[in-house]
Amino acid sequence: MAQRSAVAQLPDEVREELERRLLRSSFSGYEDLASWLQEAGFEISKSSVHRYGQQFEQRMAALKVATDQAKTLAAEADDDEGAMNEALLRLVQTKTFEILIELEDEKVEANLPKIGRMVAELARASVTQKKWAEQVRAKLQQKVDAYASRNGLSGTQAEDLRRELLGVVA
């Protein structure tokens, strides 16, 4: 098994502060960051900080791509029958798979229960959303039918109203 990164072994609060500093410095100033860590009592070389910084920058870039993809989906998707939720679920599943591939075996084992719960919760949310959308669609269908009957709409007029309200021909 590969040796764990010295930076990965830092206490969470120190590593999080390092990540904030990496972001503020636009992933530069590794000597200063290594000096800061040494002053805080951690013997970590500039090279180790640089390697960690590169990996962290790649993760941030991947997160930005995923965020941009989700924003595009939100802006472009007509959310009939939960299409956006399904697309987001697929995106999260894909990104989770990519993360699992990148993580060290030890980290995967430690986080697998959390990842499994996250995926299960997303799947449950998707099913719940689909049921809700179907219930809303059925109620709206009933209301359109009642309205068409009360107001003497022709079949074509009722179909046009359904299409306008439901986005589909019922």
pTM of the model: 0.48
User: How far is the C-alpha of 89 from the C-alpha of 169, rounded, in Å?
Assistant: 27
pLDDT in tens, 122-150: 778 778 877 887 888 888 888 888 888 89
Q: Mean pLDDT, the chain, as a whole number? A: 80
Which residue, among 8, 25, 28, 5, has the nearest Cα to 16 in the 3D structure? 8
Return the closest-CA partner of residue 134 out of 67, 96, 82. 82
Q: What is the pLDDT of residue 22?
A: 92
Arithmetic mean of pLDDT, 30-52: 93
Alpha helices in the chain (DSSP H): 12-24, 30-39, 46-76, 83-102, 105-150, 155-166
The residue extents of the domains of the chain are 1-76, 79-170
Residues 47, 28: Cα–Cα separation, whole Å: 12
Q: Is the pLDDT of residue 65 over 60?
A: yes
Q: Between 83 and 116, where is the model more confident?
A: 116
